Structure 1
Amino acid sequence: MQTLEALTRDALALGRGEFVPATPQTDEVARVMGICNACRYCEGFCAVFPAMTRRLDFTPTDAHYLANLCHNCGACLHACQYAPPHEFALNVPKAMAELRVQTYADHAWPPALGRLYQRSGLTVALALAGGLALFLVMVLAMTGSLWHAPMAGNFYAVFPHNLLVGMFAPVFGWAVLALAMGVRRFWRGVSPGSASGAAVAEATHDALRLKYLGGGHGEGCNEADDRFTLWRRRWHHATFYGFLLCFASTSVATLYHYLLGLQAPYAVTSLPVLLGTFGGIGLLVGPAGLLWLNLHRAPLHGDPAQRPMDRGFIALLLLTSGTGLALLAGRDTGAMAALLAVHLGVVMALFATLPYGKFAHGIYRCAALLKFAIEKRQPNRLGVGDD
């Protein structure tokens, strides 16, 4: 039976149009957390467990919050005395993973596109990237030649600057808007309270360090067996910072173009090219490592049904970095136009799927980390669970 506080919280969420209904996934997380709350063996493993101990029951909203706070390291599964084949069959990583994808679908914007999370798999990702790349290649073939005299890396001689802005700005803007609207609905639904500077700083610090990918005791995650490994954290770091470096490269190039009047192409030793090169390498190494781990991970870890979505996002990252580095290597050759068309098609596919694929997990996880940092600074009427 839910407490008066929990019922009031859900009533307020209902009034805002953000009520999250109970589902088999929320019920399973509530069941698992109820048993874990009585056991407390994993209390110090990650942020989920101190957040759990501040509750006597778990509403659907609480379940969604805790599911996105979970980093799926697997430590609690391997430590649990009630894990399968015990009759309780506790599998925290799987229960949390199955609910997380429901979070993304329920909070998707526009709501009608929420089902895309169930379809955003490897086939969809490759088909979209291939289709867009083929379209741009065909445009080149119809208007000119796929093989040309070297252009010294002048991309705008192939696709004019204003045309590229007109193509990519709406797609990127839509991705940012859709993600912002989705996380806004999630944020208002969990009723976190006011964020202090200290809470924001702690959440940012934990997100940038990927703190909870260190496993229950900082030795790493459990992947294929009981052994701990830090490779999942390292591959995530390479992917995350590779993505940020590529974004920084584009941002610096934009400042060069509009503020300093410096037109592309830029020298190989220029800041935009260096940032893009190192970012591309990170986006090649990191996703390759994550794909290897994904292919070898034990079935009990997480939700195997989501692996097509995971691999679809990883494939788009690999294609983005691979085609980008190939373009850099061949920008002074006669194949530059074709390489550029393929790269642009892949990047557009990546942007188009960002709000409705695996990328969303990082956005919701950051929101959950901020709520946890805020919650820790609030009075705990249960008297337990604080660091």
Structure 2
Amino acid sequence: MFDEAIAEARRQAQICNSCRYCEGYCAVFPAMHANRSFSDADITQLANLCHNCQNCFYACQYTAPHEFDLNLPGVLAAVREDSWEETAFPRAFARLFQRSGTLIAVALVAAIAILFWAALQLPGEGEGFYAIISHASLVAIFLPAFVLPLIALGVGLRRYWQRVGGGPVRLADIADAFGSAAKMRNLAGGHGEGCNFEAEDRFSQKRRVMHQLVMYGFLLCFASTASGTVLHYVFDMPAPYPFFSLPKLLGVPGGIMLCIGTVGLLVLKMAARPDLQDPRVRGGEFGFILLLFLVSLSGLALFAFGSTAALEPLLALHLGAVLAFFLLTPYSKMAHGFYRMAALVKDAQRKPRPVAAKPAARPAA
């Protein structure tokens, strides 16, 4: 939509900076109003602070057909996607996934699932699914697939931090950022009514709730895996685990939350206006949502039908989805959570720091 996204975002930010009608909507506008002019780093930071709730667009008096033709959510989405692609490591992988994410996700899951199904025909050891694929084999496959994408993501975040001119990080900055992310504060709207992402004439908390379901569902699933790792290596209690065990009590609710959240986000994404987002990357966005949904659904199906003849195909599908998810994390929208957190930390550095009160002077004797 924009030939020079940063230049166009700079033009629109200067107009918004003169109007200031949307000042209380989200973190973007206080950060914007703190500047008189905008460098490329400033625009990139504003773009990653934007959560694309679109409240400002529908409140703006300068959108088309006005000659100013403002579309701040759309242009910031374009800058944001460019910043993720340019700081990703390697860059070409991010660009490829953003353009053809759905096809890549489906093809990668299918290919890996077929390889896992073939591997499942070899004898395993242990109980449950360890009887058809050994624990050592899973560790040998998934440990590099977890660590290497984390390294790639770390390189990308370091590039982003340098790009926006981030300084030394304090614990208070991290706490402020985590507090904002935990509450999804920037999807609450200026008056706490939510956003009008899916309908211009009314506010809704749907998008905020769906994001929270995905975030907390994923964290519960991660905690489930971590608790299983501790039980296996520290307490010598290998899987399978009964329902009333920590891995299951964390993983089953987490999987359900992920399923509901991803379906909800997919419905909202399909109902939203493409011109207020970045149409170039809809394939990547839908691919990521589909992949996360498949991870959660196949995990729940494996829990429900793991004692039947469906164990092998379900296990192959689940392992394929999880491995594809890990491998694509630095290049999918999963990375946006890390970039947004970095933007929130950078924004916390902008805010004035509280000054410690000086002790009262002692009265003269």
Listed one character per residue, the Cα deviations across residues 287-309 of structure 1 (whole Å, up to 9, x for unaligned) are: 00000101111234322332211
Cα 1:120–1:184 shift into 2, 3 Å? farther
Report the equivalent of 2:162: 188
Asked whether the equivalents of residues 50 and 76 of structure 2 are also in contact (C-alpha less than 8 Å), the reply is yes
Report the equivalent of 1:168: 142
Alpha-carbon separation, structure 2, partners of 1:86 and 1:155: 62
Aligned residues: 351
Name whichever of 114-123 and 154-163 sits farther off: 114-123
Asked whether the equivalents of residues 210 and 262 of structure 2 are also in contact (C-alpha less than 8 Å), the reply is yes
Question: For 1:1-387, what aligned pairs fall within 5 Å after superposition?
Answer: 24-141=4-121, 143=122, 154-222=128-196, 223-377=198-352
TM-score (normalised: structure 2): 0.92
One-letter amino acid of the counterpart of residue 198, structure 1: A
Q: CA deviation at 1:120?
A: 4.4
Listed one character per residue, the Cα deviations across residues 311-362 of structure 1 (whole Å, up to 9, x for unaligned) are: 1000001100111011001111122122111110111111111100111111
Alpha-carbon separation, structure 2, partners of 1:342 and 1:249: 19
Q: Which sections of structure 1, spanning at least 5 residues, go unmatched?
A: 1-22, 146-150, 380-387
Q: CA deviation at 1:112?
A: 4.4
One-letter amino acid of the counterpart of residue 350, structure 2: E
Asked whether the equivalents of residues 152 and 330 of structure 2 are also in contact (C-alpha less than 8 Å), the reply is yes
Cα 1:72–1:153 shift into 2, 3 Å? farther
Asked whether the equivalents of residues 194 and 208 of structure 2 are also in contact (C-alpha less than 8 Å), the reply is yes
Name whichever of 337-346 and 297-306 sits farther off: 297-306
Alpha-carbon separation, structure 2, partners of 1:128 and 1:224: 35
Q: Which sections of structure 2, spanning at least 5 residues, go unmatched?
A: 355-365
Alpha-carbon separation, structure 1, partners of 2:324 and 2:171: 36
Asked whether the equivalents of residues 68 and 364 of structure 1 are also in contact (C-alpha less than 8 Å), the reply is yes
Asked whether the equivalents of residues 64 and 100 of structure 1 are also in contact (C-alpha less than 8 Å), the reply is yes
One-letter amino acid of the counterpart of residue 69, structure 1: L
TM-score (normalised: structure 1): 0.87
Alpha-carbon separation, structure 2, partners of 1:123 and 1:114: 14
Q: CA deviation at 1:152?
A: 10
Alpha-carbon separation, structure 2, partners of 1:308 and 1:123: 8
One-letter amino acid of the counterpart of residue 106, structure 1: E
Alpha-carbon separation, structure 1, partners of 2:232 and 2:123: 27
Alpha-carbon separation, structure 2, partners of 1:191 and 1:300: 30
Paired residue secondary structure (1:86): coil
Asked whether the equivalents of residues 22 and 56 of structure 2 are also in contact (C-alpha less than 8 Å), the reply is yes
Listed one character per residue, the Cα deviations across residues 128-147 of structure 1 (whole Å, up to 9, x for unaligned) are: 11111122223335x479xx
Asked whether the equivalents of residues 25 and 98 of structure 1 are also in contact (C-alpha less than 8 Å), the reply is yes
One-letter amino acid of the counterpart of residue 227, structure 1: R
One-letter amino acid of the counterpart of residue 48, structure 1: V
Report the equivalent of 2:360: none
Paired residue secondary structure (2:274): coil
Asked whether the equivalents of residues 109 and 179 of structure 1 are also in contact (C-alpha less than 8 Å), the reply is yes
Paired residue secondary structure (2:243): coil
Alpha-carbon separation, structure 2, partners of 1:201 and 1:136: 41
Alpha-carbon separation, structure 2, partners of 1:363 and 1:315: 20
Q: CA deviation at 1:378?
A: 6.1
One-letter amino acid of the counterpart of residue 294, structure 2: L
Name whichever of 52-61 and 244-253 sits farther off: 52-61
One-letter amino acid of the counterpart of residue 302, structure 1: Q
Asked whether the equivalents of residues 224 and 298 of structure 1 are also in contact (C-alpha less than 8 Å), the reply is no
Alpha-carbon separation, structure 1, partners of 2:99 and 2:270: 19
Sequence identity, in percent? 48
Listed one character per residue, the Cα deviations across residues 242-265 of structure 1 (whole Å, up to 9, x for unaligned) are: 000010000000001111111111
Asked whether the equivalents of residues 249 and 276 of structure 1 are also in contact (C-alpha less than 8 Å), the reply is yes
Name whichever of 53-62 and 364-373 sits farther off: 53-62
Alpha-carbon separation, structure 2, partners of 1:297 and 1:171: 34
Alpha-carbon separation, structure 1, partners of 2:63 and 2:126: 60
Cα 1:179–1:120 shift into 2, 3 Å? farther
**RMSD (CA atoms):** 1.9
Asked whether the equivalents of residues 107 and 185 of structure 1 are also in contact (C-alpha less than 8 Å), the reply is yes
Asked whether the equivalents of residues 72 and 93 of structure 1 are also in contact (C-alpha less than 8 Å), the reply is yes
